[in-house]
Structure 1
């Protein structure tokens, strides 16, 4: 499902998301499946998350490098 919505994220000390909070709920991150970043761009994560219905895969984009800002939940597969 394409979502493209602004969310907040609680992060680990290394900056990886541990929990995603948005208008459609709160998702606990079980593990980071993929992580990459082009130079000067925002970091992209593909995550295995826990939803009320079970496990799902989420694509999340963090703020641009060295800038504070919102996170974006791009897609969710349940």
Structure 2
């Protein structure tokens, strides 16, 4: 499901997300599946998360100039 909305994120000391919160709920990050960043661009994360409905995969973007963005979530 494409969401593309701003969220807040709690991060680990290394800068990886550990929890994500937004209007659609609160997601606890179980592990980072993928992480990538093009030079000078935002950092993308594909995460295994726990949602109120159960486990899921989420894709988020960490923009250095603004809030985090939850791009999509799928079961």
TM interval, shorter chain, is: over 0.9
Report which of the two has the higher share of strand: 2
Cα drift, residue 63 of structure 1? 1.4
Question: CA–CA distance in 2 between the matches of 1:49 and 1:42?
Answer: 21
Give unmatched runs, 5+ long, in structure 1.
none
In structure 2, how many angstroms separate the alpha carbons of the residues matched to 1:43 and 1:55?
A: 23
Give the match for residue 76 of structure 1.
73
Moved over 3 A (4+): none
Q: Distance in 2 between matches of 1:29 and 1:56?
A: 10
Q: How many correspondences in the alignment?
A: 75
TM-score normalized by structure 1?
Answer: 0.93
SS class of match (2:26): strand
RMSD: 0.7
| 5+ residue gaps, structure 2 | none
| C-alpha separation in 1, matches of 2:6 and 2:26 | 13
Q: CA deviation at 1:19?
A: 0.2
TM-score when normalising by structure 2: 0.96
